[in-house]
Structure 1
């Protein structure tokens, strides 16, 4: 389950389709929450937190799928879909962190772990750069989610430490 595994087994196009579907699932969850519970001028932070909880729920539903006996993917593509709707600028920065590491090492799991390590901090840094006040609760919410998803990568981390984590073959897979 997940884009990287599908790409390794099925090739580039099935991997892309998997990414698009998982990304769409994350986007749709947050978009639905935004439509049903629009941001009010009196309590924008409360609504933002609610929208982020909708996103976290869909990511956790992907990671702990009831259809797969509570085993699923790592949630990265779904998380990118959540970020695209929830906080686009944070999502772009997170994608750049993932892409930068991927271009350097060609290891998808290392790229995901790198992105997850910087993600909570982006919820503080991006608003600051935009002369806006950061929402600290978003930092803590995404610190918890990032910690969970890094934990889900624990087998990948063990392989990385042993130098045994596989790269995606750019000629075959990408």
Structure 2
């Protein structure tokens, strides 16, 4: 391909708690949902991914779970642009969630699920309450971060009950 042409590397991997780690790299000249369908054509189960709409074509065969690192990145960028890193309520709540996950990273999936239900759920409720009450211009960085989070609310909330999955897919 010419050096100036676009191409994409898709990454699929097992969860960190899986005893047999597998990582798959798939090269494509497109980022279309059709490629996602081809890549995951024989896959059923849980897919932890970002908010890319191309994954919507997989619904029915998979359970989609969100990635809090992708959500955090949007709020980080918004806070940095506003110069309000310390005052960003959503960013601080997400950081607290990640801090808990860091503490629990070596626990069994069962223990992580219990901890998430008892401790992280409270932070999640505060996060979504703030999101539901927030007033931001839709085209602003904060508005885009809010929309990104809201569009994945169900997928993000699923992590509370899935202790075998990490809070993000950053391992990919």
TM more than 0.5: no
Q: Which has the higher strand share?
A: 2
Select the structure with the greater relative contact order (CA < 8 A; seq sep ≥ 6).
Answer: 2
Q: Which has the higher helix share?
A: 1
Shorter-chain TM-score range: 0.3 to 0.5
The structure with the largest alpha-carbon Rg is 2
Normalising to structure 2: TM-score of the pair? Answer: 0.35
Normalising to structure 1: TM-score of the pair? Answer: 0.35
